[in-house]
Structure 1
Amino acid sequence: MNTSSTSQSTQAQCPFSGAGSNAPAGYPVSPRAAQFDPFEDAYQQDPPEYVKWSREEEPVFFSPKLGYWVVTRYEDIKQIFRDNITFSPSIALEKITPTGPEANAVLESYNYGMSRTLVNEDEPAHMPRRRLLMEPFTVDALKHHEPMVRQLTRQYVDQFVNDGKADLVEQMLWEVPLTVALHFLGVPEEDMDTLRKYSIAHTVNTWGRPKPEEQVAVAHAVGNFWQLAGQILEKMRKNPEQPGWMQYGIRMQQTNPEVVTDSYLHSMMMAGIVAAHETTANASANAIKLLLSHPHVWQEICEDPSLIPNAVEECLRHNGSVAAWRRLATRDVQIGGVDIAAGSKLLIVSSSANHDERHFADADLLDIRRENASDQLTFGYGSHQCMGKNLARMEMQIFLEELTLRLPHLRLSEQTFTYVPNTSFRGPEHLWVHWDPSENPERHNPAILGKQHPVRLGEPSTHSLSRQVVVQETEMLTDDIMRIRLAAADGQTLPRWTPGSHIDLVCGDLGISRQYSLCGDPTNPQVLEIAVLREDAGRGGSAWVHQHIRSGLPLHIRGPRNHFHFDEQTKKAILIAGGIGITPISAMARAARARGMDYQIHYCGRSRKSMALLASLQEHGDRLHVYPADEGRRADFASLLAAPDADTQIYACGPQRLTDCLQKICESWPDDALHIEHFHSTLGKLDPGKEHAFEAELKQTGMTVTVAADQTLLEALRAANIDIQSDCEEGLCGSCEVSVLAGQPDHRDVVLTRSERIAGNKMMSCCSRAIDQRIVLDL
C-alpha cells in the first residue's frame, strides 16, 4: 500500500462584506475578523480554539483591531516560515502596541538600543551570524549540560516533595530554566527575582498591550534590563575563555568583528536571557498542566518513561509556549489565495497551525504516540527555527522524568489559570498541584532515586514508537481477504483519522511492518478497521496476517497517517477502485455520502465473489458502478474521463495497470486532479553503475553528508546519526519525506503529486536523489 495525493488548493478570497476602518482598500472584513482580539482572555486561555473558526472558514483574514493580517493554517504558515525573504522577520520584536512619548523618553534615558538579533534579522546578515554562533547548540555540545539540569531539577523537587502541594511555576518551573539559561549563556547567577521581573516586562513591552499608565513602569524595567545585560557582558569580556554561549560569541567577535558586533552581542545578551528560559518555563508548565488534565496519559508516562520524548513533542504541539510570530511582507504576494500587499504585517498563529486537521489527524486529541508530533511549529521552521530547541527538549524531558518518578500520584488542583496578556508567548502564571506525601515512592523504595533514563536530544524517533492494540474481531470477506477490527489495548479511544489514511502494522516476529489502508468509519474513535488481501507471492506481511491474526491477539501499530487525502470540500468526486484498492475508496465514499457530495464509485474486480465490501457499498445506490470481469463488464474510463473538469477530483487505488491507464487518460486534466494510492513501485531500485554521488547540505545542523553512488540518501543520513523515519523503503509510504530548500530532486517515489514534483520542495529520502551534485535539506 502506498499513497500519492494532495488536495487541490482552493482560492480563499474574502467572501464577506462590511469593511473595517483599518482594512486594506477594497478588502471586506468579516464580522468574526472584525472582532478578533488576541489580548482577550479567550485567546490567552486557548489560542487554537479561539481561531478555530478561521482555520475552518477564513484562514487568512485582516484584523482591524490589530492592523495585521492573521494566518491560521499549517501549510500557509509553514510556507511563510520557509520564505524569510518574502516574509521578513524584521518586525518579530517590534512593539505590537506602540508606546507613548513618556515611556519612550524613559527608554531613551537608559540608552536603550536593542538592535537586530537572530530572531528578527534579515538576510544576508542573519545566516552568517547564525552559522558562526551555532556550535554551542549542537547535540554534542549540549550533552554536557544534562547532569547540571538533572541536579538542579532534583534539588528543587527536594524542596517540596514532602509538602503535599506546590505551585510548580513558582517553586520550580521558572527558576530552574532561568538558572539553566544563565549557565548556558555563561552569566554569573544574579538576582532571579529581578531577572524574572525584567523578563516579564520585556514580554509585555514587545508583545503585550500595556495600559498608558503601565507603560512608564514597563519602560523602566526594560531599561534596567538593558543596562544589566550590558554590565554582565562587560564582565564576560574580561575572561572570554570561560564556558558559555556569550563568551563563545565574544571569541567569535575576535576573529569575525564585522559579523559579531558590540551592539549585536549586547542585544543577544538581553534577548538570550529571555529566550533561553521564559519559553522553556512556559512550555514546561503548559505540558504538565496538559498531562495532568489527562490522568490516563500521565499514568502511561509514569509506567513507561520511554514515552516521555514524544510526549514532550506532543505537548509542544498541543499546548506550546509560542502562540504566534510576526512577519512583514516585502512584496505583493498571495497567501492561501488571498492577495497581500507589500508592507503588510502578518500575525502567523503557529499554535493554530499545530491544531490544523489538514496536517494533524484529530488535532485536538492529546496523543503522545502521534507520529508527526515533531512537525509542530512551536519552534518555528526554516532558517529562523529556534536554535535552543534541543536544550528546551532536554529540560522538559528531565522535568517530566523527575516528577513521574517521584510523584506519579501528582494531581492538578482546582484553580483558575491566568496568563500575561500578549499575542505570542503564553504559560500559566501559577500551576497548583497536590499529592499525598505518604504515597511518595521514595519513602518505600529509596533506590528509585538512582534511576534515570537517557535524554533524547533532537526530535524523537517515531520509527520505534508504536501503539498497542488488540484484535477485536476478524471476518473473511472473501476467500482471501480478511477484515480486522482493532481496538486500543487500554480501552481508551484511538486517534481519529481521515479518509485515505493508513496504519503501519508491525508483523510480530517477522520484524517488519506493512501499510494497510483504513476502511471503517472515520467518526468512530473506538476501532480501526483494515482489510488484508493474502498474497502468497508478496513480501510476507499479508501471509503473516492471515496465519497469525485472531480475535484477542495483541498487536502494535503506528499511525494513522494520511498521504492520500480526500478533499471533502470538492464539488464532485470520481472514486475508482480495483480489487483490494476498495479499502481507502470505501471510506472516501462514506464521507462523500455524509456530506451530500456529488460522487460516483467505479469498482473493478475479477468477480463479485472476490470483491470485498461489496455488500456494504450497496448503500450508495446508483452511484455505485461494479465491473466484475467474469461477467464481461469493463469500465470505460476513457469515455468517463474524456472531458477535463476543473471542479472534479479523481481518487484511484488499485493494481498498477489500472493506475497507469488512469494517469495516461488524465494527462489533459488539471494538475493534481488525479490522486493515486499505489501498492507497488520499482522506481526506487538503485543501480550504482548508473548513479552519481552527491552532497546533501543539512541547513539546520550545518553538516554536509556525502551520498555515494551505491547508497540511498536515507542510508547516508542514518550513517551521520540523523534520525529519519522510514517503513517501506520503496518510495511507497511517504514516511521518509524530507524538505528540500535548494537543489533539484530526482524524484523516484510514487507518493508526490505532479505539482509537488514540480515544486521540488520535498523528496523521499529512501529512493530519490539529487539531479545535480548538491542538494540542501531542512535538517
Structure 2
Amino acid sequence: MTTGCPAHADGAACPVSDRARAFDPFTGAYQIDPAAALAWSRAEEPVFYSPETGYWVVSCYADVKAVFRDPLLFSPCNVLEKITPFPDEAMAVLASYGYAMNRTLVNEDEPAHTERRRVLMAHFLPANIEAHRDRVRVLTREKVDAFIAKGRADLVEEMLWEIPLTVALHFLGVPESDMARLREFSMAHTVNTWGRPSREDQIALAHEVGRFWQFAGEVLNRMRAEPHGQGWMHEAIRQNALHPDIVTDSYLHSMMMAIIVAAHETTAHAAANAIKLLLTDGAGWRAICEDAALIPNAVEECLRYAGSVVAWRRQLTSPATVGGTDLPAGAKLLIVMASANHDERQFQNADSFDIYRDNATDHLTFGYGAHQCMGKNLARLELRIILEELSRRLPHLRLAEQEFTYLPNTSFRGPDHLWVEWDVAANPAEGAERARFEIGAPRRKDIARSVVVTAVQTEVEGVISLHLADPQGRPLPRWTAGAHVDLELDGFDRSYSLCGDPDEPGYTVSILREEAGRGGSRRFHAVTPGTVLRLRGPRNHFPLDEAAPAHLLIAGGIGITPILAMADRLKRIGARYHLHYLGAAEARMAHLARLSRDHAGQVTAHPRDRVPRADLAALVAAAAPGTRISACGPARMLEALQSLTATRPDLVLAIEHFSAGDDTDLADNRPFEVELADSGFTLPVPADRTLLQVLRAAGIDIASDCEEGLCGSCEVAVLDGTVDHRDKVLSIAERAAGTRMMCCRSRGEGRLKLAL
C-alpha cells in the first residue's frame, strides 16, 4: 500500500504500482467504461497515486462517501481547477476577456458554502420543482412530435441537449436565446476544466471560455434590470442585495457561468446514457414500456450503472487516512463515483443492470452530504418524463448501428450522438401520459416486478405455499436467509418471508389463511397456477449472522417461514444451531415433516395439543454466552423473549414481527428538531408530521416501504439525542443504544443529530 507521494516534505517519491502508473483517465478504458477500468482498484488498491494526473484516485463506495461527508477535511476548493493547467499564452487570452471565475456552490469551503446554500435552497425544494413539471412534458412532446414520423433520429441532437438546456434557462430565469452558442460554451468549459486539450486547443478554448464569461456577465446585467424577474438567478440577485456578504457580487457572475453548465449538461448526458443503457439491455426497456411506475427506479439504476457525473475532486486540508492509505495535507483526490457505484460491498451483483434494485438510490452520482447536487430532483423529473414519453410513443425503439464517442475528460460522460430507429408504421396512437411521478427519490412500493404462480401446495390445513417464477423464465434475484418479499394482488399488499432454496431460480412463500384478518391472506389463498402477481424485493431486515458461535432459532406458528430458511443455511455451512418450533396443534404446524426430515436432531417441536407449553425462560437461561437468538412469531412470544434477554447482555436477540400493531402511540406527538450532520441543515418536525415526511420535503433521499415501523427500510443513524422509538424493528438493546431509528414513526425528544 502506498503511504507517500511527491507532496511529502522530504521530497521522497511514492511507490506506484504498475496499474496505477498506467492509469490514464483521458484515453482508453476509462473513457469507454470508468467503472470497469477501475475494477482492479476496487479489489486490490482502493486508493492509489496517479502520476499521470498528480491525483490520488479513490474508487470504493465507503471511501468516496466518507470523503463527501467531511467537507472540512476534504475541501472542494479544487473542483473547478483546471486539471490540465493552462500555459501562459492561454492565461493571457483569458485575462483579455476580464475572466475572473471565483467560488461557486460547488467549490466553496465552509462555513460560507452552507450559509449560501441555505439562502439559495428554496427553489430546489420538491414543492417548488413541481412548478416545472408541465413545461418539461410540453417540451418533450414537442421534440418527439418533430421526429416521430421519420423512423430515425439522433436523440442527442434532436432532443436531449435542448430539453435540459431550455428547462435550465427557464429555471434560472435566463432568456432562452442563443442556445447553440450556449452549448458550444458549455462544451468548451468542460474540456477546459476537466479535459486534457493540446496546447493549441487551449488557446482556442481560452477564447471560448472568455466569451462565455462575458456572455454570462451580459446576461447578469440584463437580469439585474428586472427586479421582479422569476427564476433562481433572479432570487440570487435579490439575496445579493439583502445579504451581500453571503451572496457576493463575484459569486453571482461565477455562478451564472457555472450553473448554465451544471443545470443542463449533466442531465443531457444522463438522459442519453439511460436510453442507450435501457435499449441495450432490452428487458429494462420492455419493462418500463409495460409499466411506467418502474421509470423512477429505472432512472436511479441508470444513474448508478452509467451516471453522467463520473468523478469529482477534493483536496486535503490536513493529513488523513483514506481507504487504509495515509495521505498528506494538500493531497488532491479524484473521487470516482462511477467506480463507487459498482462496488459489490454496497450493491449486490453491482455489474448487473437491474431496474428493480431496491437500493439504487444509494448511488453517489449526485454526490452526498452538504455538497449534494441541489438540482437532483429537477434532473430526476426531466429524465422520468423523457423516458415516459419515449417508451409510450415509441415502445418499438431500437439502437441503430453506430460507434459511440465521448468528449474526453475525467468527470462527465455521455455519448456525443445517440442514433435510434423504429418502424413508423408500428407507431401506436399517442394516448395520455401513463404516470404522474412524485418529485424526489422513488418509493420502494413502486419497484415491483411481475411473477407468475407456477404451483400452489397445501402444507397443512390453513397454510399454502406459492411457488413463483419470472414469466419469461429468467432467474429471480438471489436472496439470503431471513429475506422477505412483498406481494400485490387486487389491491392487497402483504409481506411474506421466503422459505425455499436460494439456489433455485424461483421463490417459495408460505401463507397462513387468517379468517379474522383484513382479507389479504384469503385472497392469496384463492390464487391458482398461472396467476400473475406483483412482487417487490427480496429485502432482508432479519439477516442471519453466520459468524455467531451458536444459534437458537425460535418460531411460533407461521413464523417458521424465515426460521426454516435460517435452519437450512446453518446446516449447509456446518454451524451450531437448534430450532424450537411452537404451535397450537401438530396438525397445523407447516413444514414440520420437512424439518424432522432435513434437521433431525436439531429440531424440537412444541405443539400444545401434545406437549406442555414451551418454557422460553428455560431456553434463554440455558443458552451459551454469545448465542444469537433469532425469533419470529406472535407478538406475545417476541415480547417475552425481549424481556428474558434483557438480563442476558451476553446474548443477541434478533426478531421479526408480523405487524406493526395499532397507532395509539402516535396520538401523543410532540414537535422536535433534527440536525442533519452531513447536509448542514436543521429542520423542525411539527407534531402533525413524521420525520420521514419532513426529510422528503427538504429534498433528502430516504428509502421507505411499509411506513408503519415494521420493515426497517427507513432506518437512519442517530449521532446524538434521545429517540422516542415507535417501531417494531429494533430490539430492546438496540433501542437502548440509541444509534438507530425508523423515521417513518419514531420521533425525537427535543433535538436529534442524524447522519444525513
Tell me whether the two structures share a fold, i.e. TM-score over 0.5.
Answer: yes
Structure 1 partner of 2:363 = 376
Q: Secondary structure at the match of 1:556?
A: strand
The 1:372–1:186 alpha-carbon spacing in structure 2 relative to 1, beyond 3 Å, is same
Superposed counterparts of 1:303-342, under 5 Å: 303-335=290-322, 339-342=326-329
The code of the aligned residue for 1:155 comes to: E
From 580, 588, 606, the counterpart of 1:604: 580
Structure 1 partner of 2:440: 458
Pair 1:515 & 2:495 matched: yes
2:209 match: secondary structure: helix
Deviation at residue 490 of structure 1 after TM alignment? 4.9
Q: Counterpart of 2:469?
A: 487
> Which residue of 2 is the match for residue 242 of structure 1?
229
TM-score, normalised relative to structure 1: 0.81
* Residue 173 (str. 1) matches residue 160 (str. 2): yes
Give, in whole Å, the separation in 2 of the partners of 1:718 and 1:181. Answer: 23
| Equivalent of 1:106 in 84, 93, 96 | 93
The letter of the residue matching 1:528 is Y
Q: Using the alignment, how far apart are the partners of 1:477 and 1:119 within structure 2?
A: 60
Distance 1:226 1:617, change over 3 A: farther
Question: What residue is the counterpart of 1:528 in the other structure?
Answer: 507
**Secondary structure in 1 aligned to 2:649?**
helix
Structure-to-structure mapping, 1:673-684, within 5 angstroms: 674=652, 676-679=654-657
Over 3 Å counting, the alpha-carbon distance change for 1:606 and 1:256 in structure 2 is closer
Query: Relative to 1, partners in 2 of residues 1:171 and 1:688: Cα closer, same or farther, differing over 3 Å?
Result: closer
**Structure 1 residue 408 corresponds to structure 2 residue 395:** yes
**What's the offset of the Cα at 1:89?**
2.2
- Which residues in structure 2 correspond to 1:7-46 (within 5 Å)? 14=1, 32-46=19-33
Q: Does the alignment pair 1:123 with 2:110?
A: yes
Alignment root-mean-square deviation, CA: 4.2
* Contact kept in structure 2, 1:286 and 1:321, CA below 8 Å: yes
- The equivalent of 2:712 in structure 1 is 734
Q: Where do 1:407-426 residues align within 5 Å?
A: 407-426=394-413
- Residue aligned with 1:771, SS: strand
Contact 1:327–1:347, Cα closer than 8 Å, also in 2: yes
Structure 1 residue 243, shift from structure 2 partner: 2.4
Partners of 2:492 and 2:111 lie apart in 1 by 47
Larger mean CA deviation between 605-614 and 97-106 belongs to 605-614
Q: What aligned pairs does 1:523-602 form with structure 2 within 5 A after superposition? A: 523-524=503-504, 526-532=505-511, 545=524, 547-565=525-543, 574-579=550-555, 583-584=561-562, 599-602=575-578
Percent identity (aligned): 52
Q: Structure 1 599/100 Cα, relative in aligned 2: closer, same or farther at 3 Å?
A: farther
1:772 partner amino acid: G
Q: For residues 387-398 of structure 1, what are the structure 2 equivalents within 5 Å?
A: 387-398=374-385
1:424 is displaced (CA, Å) by 1.7
CA distance change for structure 1 residues 760 and 104 in 2, over 3 Å: closer, same or farther? farther
Structure 1 counterpart of 2:468, one-letter code: L
1:47 to partner: Cα distance: 2.5
Secondary structure of the residue aligned to 1:347 is strand
Q: CA deviation at 1:126?
A: 1.1
Mapped contact 1:365–1:495 kept (Cα < 8 A): no
- Which AA in structure 2 matches 1:404? S
Partner of 1:765: 743
Q: In the superposition, relative to structure 1, how do residues 763 and 52 fare at CA in structure 2: closer, same or farther (>3 Å)?
A: farther
| CA apart distance, 1:280 | 0.6
Structure 2 equivalent of residue 154 of structure 1: 141
Residues 520 and 154 of structure 1: CA distance in aligned 2, closer, same or farther (over 3 Å): same
AA aligned to 1:280 is T
What is the rounded CA distance, in whole Å, between the counterparts of 1:675 and 1:339 in structure 2?
A: 39
Deviation at residue 248 of structure 1 after TM alignment: 1.9
- In structure 2, what is the Cα distance between the partners aligned to 1:616 and 1:694? 49
Residues in 2 aligned to 1:756 and 1:51: alpha-carbon distance in whole angstroms: 38
Aligned position for 1:9: none
SS of the equivalent of 1:772 reads strand
Aligned: 1:501 with 2:486: no
- 1:479-503, Cα deviation, whole Å (9 max, x unpaired): 6654332112454443343444321
1:287, 1:348 → 2: CA distance? 22
Identify if the C-alpha distance between structure 1 residues 286 and 261 changes in structure 2 by more than 3 Å, giving closer, same or farther. same
Normalising by structure 2, we get a TM-score of 0.84
Give, in whole Å, the separation in 1 of the partners of 2:371 and 2:686. 27
Distance in 2 between residues matched to 1:611 and 1:56, nearest whole Å? 44
1:88 counterpart = 2:68: no
Q: Distance in 2 between matches of 1:19 and 1:339?
A: 5
**Cα 1:485–1:72, aligned 2, differ >3 Å: closer, same or farther?**
farther
Residues 440 and 696, structure 2, Cα contact 8 Å, conserved in 1: no
How many equivalent pairs are there?
Answer: 737
Contact 2:397 2:420 (C-alpha < 8 Å) held by counterparts? yes
Q: Which runs of 5+ in 2 are unaligned?
A: none
Shift of residue 652, structure 1, vs aligned partner: 2.9
Q: Distance in 2 between matches of 1:351 and 1:420?
A: 16
Q: CA deviation at 1:388?
A: 1.3
Whether the 8 Å CA contact 1:34–1:64 is kept in 2: the answer is yes
Give the C-alpha shift of residue 204 in structure 1.
2.0
Partners of 2:580 and 2:327 in 1: CA distance: 47
Do the aligned residues in 2 keep the contact of 1:361 with 1:497 (CA within 8 Å)? no
CA separation in 2, counterparts of 1:206 and 1:775?
Answer: 37
- Matched position secondary structure for 1:166: strand
- Deviations 1:177-232 (CA, angstroms, capped at 9, x unpaired): 22222232222334333322221222222222334443333333222222222222
What does the per-residue CA deviation read over 1:683-710, in whole Å, with 9 as the maximum and x for residues that have no partner?
A: 99754787643245789798955432x8
Deviation at 1:128, TM superposition (A): 1.9
Q: 1:393 and 1:540, CA in 2 relative to 1: closer, same or farther beyond 3 A? A: same
Q: AA paired with 1:600?
A: R
* 1:337/1:114 CA distance change after superposition, 3 Å: same
Deviations 1:471-527 (A, max 9, x none): 222334566654332112454443343444321233x45x55333333334454x31
The answer to whether the 8 A contact 2:91-2:206 is kept is yes
What is the CA deviation profile of residues 608-635 of structure 1, one whole-angstrom value per residue up to 9, with x for unaligned ones? 99573875897899xx844445899999
Are 1:747 and 1:769, in contact at CA under 8 Å, matched by a contact in 2? yes
**Measured at CA, do residues 761 and 62 of structure 1 come closer, stay the same or move farther in structure 2, by a change above 3 Å?**
farther
Shift of 1:21: 6.5
Shift of 1:262: 1.1
More off after superposition, 55-64 vs 165-174: 55-64
Give distance in 2, aligned partners of 1:33 and 1:753.
46
* Residue of structure 2 in register with 1:6 after alignment: none
Residues 684 and 731 in structure 1, CA contact (< 8 A), matched pair in contact too = no
Return 249-258 or 480-489, whichever deviates more. Answer: 480-489
Which amino acid in the other structure matches residue 461 of structure 1? R
